[in-house]
């Protein structure tokens, strides 16, 4: 084997971009040309360039060729783990407490968000997740009962709703939103802080085949930071 790896090619390409040999907007040589230069198969060059294109560093189009992205759109990736794992990964002891659990007809704003009809039955659960017995996260969740039949018989004293859904309704699609919000009274009380304090909030809408399964709002305790490498 020639010893040329696709990773070797990737670092070489990155070097040339950094050294401004190939500048943002420039067209770079074709796969065939690069394969000849590096003395490897085209498939190897293809994989190298394809992966760089996935990160947004390169832009590729058939026939047009490969160019360095004019303004590279960095893609920041965040791991959205089960909350228990998130807490345990930070070295905390996980515990959760259910503050409220009620079967109710969906209020209108939830109907609109989840696109439910007027008579839709939902399970409304408010949970406090604790790390080392300190409030960590306040969860406000609405579940569309029609979409998850087995949920009536589930026992949430041991496994959190969060985990039950991951195990029993895997691989669902949806959207996630990050935002900042001043704490209201319920949030302030649960998270042991004051009304008005800025909270980092994530809202998630989960679907299985176009049908909304659950809407969650997670309000993190003050001071929370969500970090990732670029």
Partner DNA sequence: CAAGTTAATATGTGCAGACATAATAATGTT
Partner DNA sequence: AACATTATTATGTCTGCACATATTAACTTG
What is the spatial distance between Cα 152 and Cα 162, in angstroms, rounded to a whole number? Answer: 15
Which one of 14-22, 33-41, 81-89, 175-183 is the stretch in contact with DNA (CB under 7 A)? 33-41
Taking residue 6's Cβ as centre, other Cβ atoms within 10 Å add up to: 17
**DSSP state at residue 209:** T
- State yes or no: residue 67 binds its own copies (CB under 8 A): no
Size of the site for DNA (CB under 7 A): 28
Of the candidates 199, 213, 216, 218, which one interacts with its own copies according to CB under 8 A?
199
**Binding partner of residue 78 among its own copies, DNA, none, CB cut-off 5 to 8 Å per kind:** its own copies
What is the closest distance, in whole angstroms, from the C-beta atom of residue 172 to its own copies in the complex?
Answer: 8
Which one of 45-53, 137-145, 172-180, 210-218 is the stretch in contact with DNA (CB under 7 A)? 45-53
**Binding partner of residue 82 among DNA, its own copies, none, CB cut-off 5 to 8 Å per kind:** its own copies
Helix axes 42-55, 6-18, angle to 10 degrees: 50
C-beta separation of 92 from 131 below 8 A: yes
Distances (CA, A) of 124 to 80, 142, 180, 224: 22, 5, 23, 25
Q: Which of residues 166-195 bind its own copies (CB under 8 A)?
A: 166-167, 170-182
Strand order of the β-sheet with 27-28 is 27-28, 65-68, 58-61
Of the candidates 12, 26, 47, 204, which one interacts with DNA according to CB under 7 A?
47
Cα dihedral angle (207, 173, 125, 86), rounded to 10 degrees? 180
Of the candidates 16, 26, 50, 88, which one interacts with DNA according to CB under 7 A?
50
Size of the site for its own copies (CB under 8 A): 55
- State yes or no: residue 93 binds its own copies (CB under 8 A): no
**DSSP state at residue 40:** S
Distances (CA, A) of 227 to 67, 83, 103, 174: 30, 16, 36, 22
What is the closest distance, in whole angstroms, from the C-beta atom of residue 183 to its own copies in the complex?
Answer: 8
What is the spatial distance between Cα 43 and Cα 105, in angstroms, rounded to a whole number? Answer: 56
Which residues would be at the binding site for DNA (CB under 7 A)?
1-2, 4-8, 30-32, 39-44, 46-47, 49-50, 53, 60-66
Binding residues for its own copies (CB under 8 A): 14, 17-18, 20, 24, 56-57, 68, 71-82, 85, 163, 166-167, 170-182, 196-201, 204, 206, 208, 220, 222, 224-230
């Amino acid at each position: 084997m020639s010893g040329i790896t696709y990773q070797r090619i990737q670092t070489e390409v990155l070097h040339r971009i950094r050294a401004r040999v190939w500048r943002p907007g420039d067209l770079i040589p074709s796969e065939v040309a690069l394969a000849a230069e590096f003395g490897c198969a085209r498939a190897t060059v293809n994989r190298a360039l394809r992966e760089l294109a996935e990160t947004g560093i390169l832009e590729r189009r058939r026939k047009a060729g490969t160019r360095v992205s004019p303004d590279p759109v960095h893609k920041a990736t965040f791991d959205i783990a089960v909350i228990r794992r998130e807490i345990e990964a930070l070295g905390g002891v996980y515990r959760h407490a259910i503050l409220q659990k009620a079967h109710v007809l969906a209020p209108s704003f939830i109907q609109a968000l989840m696109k439910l009809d007027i008579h839709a039955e939902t399970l409304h659960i408010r949970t406090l997740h604790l790390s080392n017995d300190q409030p960590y996260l306040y969860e406000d969740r609405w579940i569309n009962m029609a979409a998850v039949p087995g949920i009536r018989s589930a026992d949430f004293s041991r496994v959190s709703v969060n985990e039950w859904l991951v195990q029993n309704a895997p691989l669902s699609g949806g959207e996630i939103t990050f935002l900042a919000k001043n704490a209201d009274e319920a949030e302030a009380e649960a998270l042991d802080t004051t009304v008005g304090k800025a909270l980092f909030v994530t809202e998630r809408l989960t679907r299985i085949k176009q049908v909304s399964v659950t809407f969650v709002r997670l309000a993190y305790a003050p001071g929370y930071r969500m970090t990732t490498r670029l």
